[in-house]
Structure 1
Amino acid sequence: MERRLAAILAADIVGYSRLMEADEADTLARLKSTRENLIDPKIIAHKGRTVKLMGDGALVEFSSVVDAVGCAVEIQETMAECNAELPKEKQLEFRIGVNLGDVIVEGQDIYGDGVNVAARLEGMAEPGGVLISGTAFDQVERKLGFDFEFLGEQQVKNIEKPVRLYRVGPRARVPSGTVPAKRKPYVEWRRLTVAAMALILAAGGVALWKVLSDGSGPPVEVASKTRMVLPLPDKPSIAVLPFTNMSDEAGQEIFTDGMTDDLITDLSKVSGLFVIARNSTFAYRGKPVKISQIAEELGVRYVLEGSVRRADEQVRVNAQLIDALTGGHVWADRFDGNVADIFAVQDVFVAKIVEALKVNLTTTEKTEIARAKPDNIAAKEAFEEGWSLYLRYNAQDTAAAIASLKKATELDPEYGRAYAALALAYFRVVDSLWGKELGRDEPYFWFGAHDYIELAKKYPTSLSYTVEAFRNAYQGVAEDARRDAGRAIALDPNDPEAHIATAWALTISGEPAEALNFVATAMRLNPNYPSHYVLARGIALFAIGDLKQAAEVFEEGVRRNPDATALFLPLSSVLAQLGRREEARQMLLKFRPGVGQKGLENLADSIHQSFKWDYEHESVRERLNDGVRIAALPLDVTVTSLETALETDDPFSQQYAAKRLGWFGPAALQAVPALVEALKVEYLRREVIVALGKIGPPAQAAIPALVALQNEALVGIYAKDALSKIRGN
């Protein structure tokens, strides 16, 4: 019997039976969403392990009491915020109890008094409250900045000795001489400067506002809704332009870009805002473009611009938020101070912008914004350099990005976002077949990406959930991919990559129509979208069967980016299946210049495909490969020529013809009678049956012959599969 000391968190929902009786389906859906999007991420962030779920309750094990109590309080604070926006009948309230005690371990489950006390405390807690035992209190009293109210000793059911009880207060306070758990002293010191920064910012902002309102700033032309390329969202929409580097020192562009990127990243986590992605706003860097034009091209109402001047360890930041529809300044501010305070300044800027746009910033959003920031300025600059290089989408810059991102993790080993970015960069090398160009085979980068994901999971951010979603999609675990992408979207609603990850998860699991909605959202958030958005959209259209529109999407993507090699193969496949074989062949030759006929014909079987379809939807992948195979055939190989070859007495030519007729799918309809006749030849049956299945519903005439073969020992399973495809089952 294995025993260990553990911190146990027990939780359940208040009035669960009443909620289920009122609306069972809605209650279950909201409970599932709450667990996946709010509670599970906090358990993971605090290094907890969910032992089991019990309908309306949960039992979670932690190795640290500090983590257990911190997690409990964060859950209750988040739930209180969520409930404040809901009618009483829709609110979910939890009771939570936390105990430190000895437990018995059996497999993945735990038992014993340590668990029993936690369960009893949960039942005694107030709705929305946290109750902890004396053993837990003794470990956290001077480590967590919460109010603890001693409720005395009480006898609990089936426990021999009375248990000291403490109610954890809803508001945090930092006792003298203590540092809250899981936070470095520097972080706490930095946050104590926020109030002082706010006063400095307010004074500077008043001065800047006066300059702007006096008309000494540049005139701002008014944007027009009728000229908007994209319709305005139904929430405040904002584009953050690259801040201007005003520094006299060389090499400060990275620091300035980092300021811009941080503001975009922080604002994008606010669910009440619509924030344009970095790719699209950085396209305006250094260009003399009017605010009105930017607003009209990106489809936003508000534009944030600013400047940064750095000299040694001193920095000055100016920022202004402009309403493009009125030309007026919604907010303006300035900061003068030390570089070490820059993160606190960013927090204040975000809070001020959110306040100016009359949007609520939830506790969860505040926590996620703070969590993403490192403490090491040098690590942050290395990350910004690497992230900027990563977003250029070519082999050389990706290699340089990897070097910079590795440096960021060396400077700050707990930099979760940098680990996640490294995983993305490694996956891109695999997707784009850049391994040899970067000095390694693709498998090296494939396994390296998985290693970095595991490191990112230790310090979770929205980006780490996004990259984990991509990994699960790569491996064909669609349900897990959807879950992780959902967590990423919950933490960062404006992250287009999380929406693309969701789209892939839906496509590979047989829901390509729904996937298109997520691709559309990603493209709206990032109007200057990269080619892998095009790939996601085109493959979803292909999976639906809309070859014509898929071709248009891929062709437009190649026109936008002639170096988007990931689009070449799917485009060649679609063109071939549309009968545009000469164009399809030219696209293959563009993908592999100088390759011979044999090399072309081997492409479909030798190219790595990033995403793995669910078993029941693998036919989509096979159709995609068959199109590439058609594109690789000599142009004089047609359905008619293959039909003729099938009717010869040469076994090799017959097998060759039967297999290739299957590649043409429904376009090989005219060959169905010849294929049915070929079923009489035993050594051809398997290839012929597979070909008829690929032709699908147009091969109705083959049904009687296939029915007669479905119980045959060697080919029966293939006959049944072909019948299912022809009948459309």
Structure 2
Amino acid sequence: MRYLFENYVFDTDRRELHRDAGVVAIAPKVFDLLDYLIRNRERVVSKDDLINAVWNGRSVSDEALTTRLNAARNAIGDSGQEQRLIKTLPRKGFRFVGPILQAQGPAGAPISNDRPMEHPRPVLALPDKPSIAVLPFQNLSDDPGQEYFADGMVEDIITGLSRSKLLFVISRNSSFTYKGEAVDIKRISRELGVRYVLEGSVRKAGRRVRVTGQLIDASTDTHIWADRFDGELEDIFDLQDRLTSGVIGAMSPQLERAEIERARRKPTESLQAYDYYLRSKFSIYQWTREGSVEALRMTKLAISLDPAFAVAYASGANIFGQKKGFGWIEDAAKERAESRQLVERAVQLDQDDPLVLAHAAHVYSYMLGEPETGSALAARAIALDPNLAMARLWAGWAQVFLGNHDAAIEQFSAAIRLSPVDPHLFIPQTGMAFAHFFAGRYEEALSCATSAIQRQPNFLGAQRILMSSLAMAGRTAEARRACDAILQSDPALRISGIKSSPFRRLEDVEKLGQAWRIAGVPG
């Protein structure tokens, strides 16, 4: 077997390493070490793995292993500082990360640049984070001139996905090399080094356009999401933007779920920082007190493995917001301080990650009671990624706290439009209920609150705004029954607590207090 990378050929049959036309001198143990790393390039190789494979399990000092590793790097033009081809992952092991072409050939065959390989296939290792390629969409219209519309949509989707720092997204130029080919998902996955592939089609009929998309996990060849989007061809660029937002917004939660399930199936001993982060997300989405405790534990493990993992810090800070929203806070001052410490570190590590900024917007607005800061962070997140539903969500809540109710509804509507089947829709629905309540639209508030409770019955925020809306709508008996139910799960609820809430407008605070008095909340 011959492995080709950069200007090197690693020939395992002849046990030779070639650079251009010359042979590179390499010690036997160094050759064996490099051979093992290349053959196992799709995973992290531990120190024990190398010792067992190269030294047959004999006792080898760290210094001897480091010497051989440095020799392997030197032989292929790499270094411990650059780590372009052989990467060291602290406390985990080593991994060959360079792109490789694999070729079969007779043991004595000459290797030169003037003789083409017989269809060598690139075999790329999967990145440490979820990886995706967006293939050119098929133009199913009768008009070949609509090809530009299909291509433009794909380019916009690639650009939108690329804004997420948690995704590894193949560039447009690589994806479009498959344009017009019969799609073999497994082959594309191998050649581009991605786990997920998004494919789709565009059909234009008269003044209407239909876009379909499907997301495939190439490792299992299973569809994890499929949907279609329709629009009127009035303004083609506006339609393209809306369809692109729709595809990204609908697909992203499904991609996250698939990654969470994958992390849950991995054995504990092989977990990395990102896997712990995903497991924390799974625990967060249980919406239970125990889940929030486990989520925080998983987040701290992720941070311990990768102290520069900004979004893990931000998500950890956000867990305290969940605890506050569901009435699970045990030591308010201590948990508020820990939340602040985590969110400040997150923003310090990465001020340009829209997901970090979106989490931070929630923490500052709700947990820390600083909606002015939260609003500014949310606005920056939206500027960086207009298709990030979470940024729209927490921008909406910041506007609720600041008293800008119509602006809040606009952001909540955008969040729901971007992620219409999101399992967490009860959060923007509750926010819309608050905005309608403060604007005096009590029936609309009741409708939103009812929808939120149907999705998440134990969410105190939705329960409280339902009770408040019933009271102000004159349905006092129902409001009192709602109050009795809330006090059973939250016996510490008091009207005086409204004063420490993030609501900035005095009339909003007074209206909420009036509603709670009518409903029977203790003073």
TM-score normalised over the length of structure 2: 0.52
Contact kept in structure 1, 2:87 and 2:96, CA below 8 Å: no
* Alignment match, 2:122: 200
> 1:713-728 alignment to 2 at 5 Å?
none
Cα distance per residue 1:44-76 (max 9 Å; x no partner): xxxxxxxxxxxxxxxxxxxxxxxxxxxxxxxxx
Structure 1 residues 523 and 324, CA gap change in structure 2 (3 angstroms): closer
* Aligned partner of residue 458 in structure 2, secondary structure: coil
* Alignment match, 1:443: 333
> 1:91-110 alignment to 2 at 5 Å?
none
Superposed CA RMSD in Å reads: 4.7
Name which of 370, 380, 385 aligns with 2:279. Answer: 385
* Alignment match, 2:466: 571
Cα distance per residue 1:449-476 (max 9 Å; x no partner): 1111122123223332112212332355
Deviation at 1:630, TM superposition (A): 0.8
Residue identity over aligned pairs, in percent, reads 20
**Letter of the 1:266 counterpart:** L
* Aligned partner of residue 553 in structure 1, secondary structure: helix
Cα distance per residue 1:417-474 (max 9 Å; x no partner): 1111110111211222112xxxx32332222111111221232233321122123323
Contact kept in structure 2, 1:237 and 1:301, CA below 8 Å: no
Q: Distance in 1 between the 2:427 and 2:409 partners?
A: 14
Structure 1 residues 570 and 324, CA gap change in structure 2 (3 angstroms): closer
Contact kept in structure 1, 2:317 and 2:340, CA below 8 Å: yes
Contact kept in structure 1, 2:361 and 2:373, CA below 8 Å: yes
Unaligned runs of at least 5 residues, structure 1:
1-174, 205-221, 223-233, 240-261, 272-290, 293-298, 309-316, 327-353, 358-375, 635-659, 661-729
**Letter of the 1:494 counterpart:** N
Name which of 494, 506, 516 aligns with 1:628. Answer: 516
TM-score normalised over the length of structure 1: 0.38
Deviation at 1:407, TM superposition (A): 1.1
Deviation at 1:489, TM superposition (A): 2.6
Structure 1 residues 193 and 177, CA gap change in structure 2 (3 angstroms): closer
Deviation at 1:480, TM superposition (A): 2.9
* Alignment match, 2:429: 534
Contact kept in structure 2, 1:488 and 1:498, CA below 8 Å: yes
* Aligned partner of residue 217 in structure 2, secondary structure: strand
Name which of 469, 487, 506 aligns with 2:399. Answer: 506
Q: Distance in 1 between the 2:383 and 2:346 partners?
A: 18
* Alignment match, 2:177: none
- 1:266 equivalent in alignment to 2:167: yes
Contact kept in structure 1, 2:99 and 2:123, CA below 8 Å: no
Unaligned runs of at least 5 residues, structure 2:
1-76, 103-119, 127-139, 141-151, 158-162, 173-198, 201-209, 230-243, 248-269
* Alignment match, 1:58: none
Structure 1 residues 579 and 270, CA gap change in structure 2 (3 angstroms): farther
Cα distance per residue 1:281-322 (max 9 Å; x no partner): xxxxxxxxxx99xxxxxx9731212264xxxxxxxx657798
Q: Distance in 1 between the 2:226 and 2:458 partners?
A: 37
**Letter of the 1:533 counterpart:** P
- 1:408 equivalent in alignment to 2:408: no
> 1:267-666 alignment to 2 at 5 Å?
301-306=212-217, 308=219, 318=221, 378-435=272-329, 440-460=330-350, 461-474=353-366, 475=368, 477-526=370-419, 527-530=421-424, 531-593=426-488, 603-606=494-497, 612-614=502-504, 617-632=505-520
Contact kept in structure 2, 1:429 and 1:445, CA below 8 Å: no
Cα distance per residue 1:492-530 (max 9 Å; x no partner): 433222111111222333321122121112112332342
Cα distance per residue 1:228-278 (max 9 Å; x no partner): xxxxxx956999xxxxxxxxxxxxxxxxxxxxxx9995289999xxxxxxx
Q: Distance in 2 between the 1:627 and 1:472 partners?
A: 26
**Letter of the 1:605 counterpart:** S
Contact kept in structure 2, 1:379 and 1:408, CA below 8 Å: yes
* Aligned partner of residue 303 in structure 1, secondary structure: strand
Q: Distance in 1 between the 2:321 and 2:395 partners?
A: 17
Contact kept in structure 1, 2:86 and 2:98, CA below 8 Å: no
**Letter of the 1:524 counterpart:** R
Q: Distance in 2 between the 1:594 and 1:377 partners?
A: 37
* Aligned partner of residue 445 in structure 2, secondary structure: helix
Deviation at 1:385, TM superposition (A): 0.8
* Aligned partner of residue 200 in structure 1, secondary structure: strand
Structure 1 residues 516 and 566, CA gap change in structure 2 (3 angstroms): same
Contact kept in structure 2, 1:499 and 1:522, CA below 8 Å: yes
Contact kept in structure 2, 1:431 and 1:609, CA below 8 Å: no
* Aligned partner of residue 393 in structure 1, secondary structure: coil
Deviation at 1:586, TM superposition (A): 1.0
Q: Distance in 1 between the 2:333 and 2:500 partners?
A: 13
* Aligned partner of residue 274 in structure 2, secondary structure: helix
Deviation at 1:547, TM superposition (A): 1.3
* Aligned partner of residue 494 in structure 2, secondary structure: helix
Q: Distance in 1 between the 2:156 and 2:483 partners?
A: 41
